[in-house]
Amino acid sequence: MFAFIGCVLGTLIGVLPGLGPAAGTAILIPVTFYLDPIPAIIMLAAIYYGAMYGGTITSVLVNVPGEAASVITCLDGYQMAKQGRAGPALGIAAIGSFIGGTIATFALMLVSLPLASFALRFGPPEVFALLVVGLSLVTGLAGRSLLAALIMTLFGLLLAMVGMDPVRGAPRYTFGITPLYDGVGFIPVVMGLFGVGEILLSMESPVLEVIKTKLTDLLPKRKEWKVSIGAIGRGTGIGFFLGLIPGIGAIIPTFIAYIVEKRVSKHPEKFGTGVIEGVASPETANNSYANGALIPLLTLGIPGSPTLAVLMGAFIIHGLTPGPFLFKERPDVVWGLIASLYLGNIMLLILNLPLVGFWAKLLEIRYQYLYPGILLFCILGAYSMNQSVFDIGVMILFGILGYIFRKLDWPLAPTILALILGPMMERALRTSLEISGGDFSIFFTRPISAGLLILAAIVMVSSAVRLLPLRAGKPRTPC
Amino acid sequence: MKRAWQIASLAFVALAAFMLVKSFEYPFKDRLGPGPGFFPLWLSIITVALALALFFHTRFGKNVADGPTTLVPERSGALRALVILIALVGVLALLTTLGFRISLLLFLVFLPLALGVRNWWLTLIFALAGSFGVFHVFYYWLRLPLPIGVFGI
């Protein structure tokens, strides 16, 4: 039942522009306070992958992605809708997402346990090195300026310094303000950066034009199936394997899936004019990625995206620590979650195929009601974490910052991930140095940590090569 | 855009410099190893260095942040964003005194009307559902403590 509620809420979040999956999941964390950890995590995870489905509807019908990973779907999905083929576009997206999500869940089941067992060998130096890899991937792959992305990562780490020192418990940067002793709450920050900031930006052009089309014939025709099957297979593989890389985010797998599809197509020139493979492949990759990306979170405790960082926060709030020990100490949570992923994918297929007309109707809600409604839940979410009005102030402040950073085109994901990983990173670094008596060579004399740090260096150097000369101000991705 | 990047980099220089100075108040080392000041000190130094690098890169580099995007939105967009911020600050100021129901009722009546809606009845129903209705669901059903104001509402 909780998976079902999560799927419904997730689809709703995905459908509504102005509320991404990160803010949407964060808003609904308070709803799970009174639940036991297992149903709470199942519900929040369902919201996460439900949003991946829901984002497609907005991309196809409005040409605005409901969540960032559906950007590429606009290209062919919207063209199909303009040609009166919105039904097959949404149908193949739902079916592809179901297939991709289910296969990725099966692979997650196979890979997680051996990986978690391997990760049990990690000591503080390896944990630190792993976190450096995670953050360098998020930083290196985000945005078009490596320097700006690095600054945003450091901003998140600096924010994480506020509050009690994670090793000695000494207060830092609290300025005598009592709520700051608990640190800067990541929920108000997520709400601000991804909820309020997005709405402030949407205010510049708030009116959506929904294509009026009959949503019939959702099942693709035989000819369309023929070209879609291969696309779905490739999308599944691409999404899953890229999901294993922490920090890659949901957008890159969908873009790669689209590019690969274009490359293998006999008619690449038709991409962008409304070809069904252009919807099938990225949408499959999107959901396959969503399930695959749970592997680094569950086995290593590294969230690969802001939404997963929020999910990790939800684990912590419910007294669970994602990582290898979770498999050992709370296998009921892990296997309960994995079982719910199978069920959730089936539920989402049911929710998305027959109910697509209902979801499309939601897009006709006037923004004057939609955005205040979303803000109401942002306020509720920010307040209820600590029952603190101060957190609403934090949310407003980060809403303004989120708006500014979006305008600057500086990436927000590194800040959120660094904020949540900062205390773990500091604890691992300082404990390692305590073990070695202050000798930094501990990170280079242990093979796993040395290997991981070399990998982090390679990621940063390759990102620098890719992004230099630094450019900004280009038009946003066409959609 | 270029100017905006430069201002943002300098803002980060200032923030990190402030945190660097504050970090000296915390012990850099103690008898067990690195102290509470160790990590913030290094983070601040690196942030200052990178923010300065970005500033000089945007100041003197070619094709850096020189796109057409501007930070300032057109007038009507800016006004709508401002209305939202005013409404949010209003909730922040009134929540403890007036309680969740009244302050959110005011928020949800004010915002649609300020954004151009003229249907008072629909707005009122929407605001009642969003304030009293949501309060009922979260406070009584989900057992989430929400603020009750001076009027006992």
pLDDT digits (tens, 9 = 90+) for A366-400: 888 988 998 998 898 888 888 899 999 999 999 99
Neighbouring CB atoms inside 10 A of A468's CB total 13
DSSP structure class, residue A33: T
A343 half-sphere exposure, CB direction, 13 A CA radius: 17
Residues from chain A that touch B108, judged by Cβ atoms under 8 A, are: 372, 376
- The C-alpha atoms of residue A253 and residue A105 are separated, in whole angstroms, by 17
B140 at the A interface (CB within 8 A)?
Answer: no
> Does B84 touch chain A if contact means CB atoms closer than 8 Å?
yes
B40 reaches A (C-beta below 8 A)? yes
Are A392 and B117 an interchain contact pair (Cβ–Cβ within 8 Å)? no
Question: Virtual CA dihedral for A424, A428, A429, A433, nearest 10 degrees?
Answer: 150
CA A208 – CA A61 distance, rounded (Å): 10
pLDDT of residue A476: 40
Tell me which residue in B5, B34, B130 faces A373 most closely, judged by beta carbons: B130
Determine if residue B19 is left, alpha or beta; phi over 0 gives left, psi from -120 to 50 gives alpha, anything else beta.
Answer: alpha
Helices and strands per DSSP (H, E), number in chain B = 5, 2
pLDDT band at A66 (very low <50, low <70, confident <90, very high): low
Determine contact, residues A149/A414, Cβ cutoff 8 Å.
Answer: yes
* Tokens describing residue B89: 């600050």
Contact present, A7 and A101 (Cβ < 8 Å): no
**ipTM for the complex shown:** 0.95
% of chain A residues with pLDDT over 90 = 15
Cis ω for the linkage preceding A303 (within 30 of 0): no
Name B99's bridge partners. B148
Average pLDDT value for chain B: 90
CB atoms within 10 A of CB A212: 10
Write the single-letter amino acid at A403: Y
Q: Rg of chain B over CA atoms, in angstroms?
A: 24
A456 and A129 in contact (C-beta within 8 Å)?
yes
Q: pTM of the entire structure?
A: 0.85
| Partner-chain contact B36 A170, CB within 8 Å | yes
**Residue A383 tokens, joined:** 């307040």
The Cα–Cα gap between B29 and A370 comes to 52
Residue A399: list chain B partners with CB under 8 A. 85, 88
What is the tens place of the pLDDT at every residue in A92-131? Answer: 888 888 888 888 888 888 888 788 878 777 889 998 998 8
- Taking the alpha carbons of A295, A301, A304, A309 in that order, is the dihedral positive or negative? positive
Q: For residue B119, give every residue at least 6 positions away whose Cβ sits within 8 Å of its Cβ, in sequence order, or none.
A: none
Mean predicted confidence (pLDDT) in A296-311? 82
Q: What is the mean pLDDT of residues A464-468?
A: 67
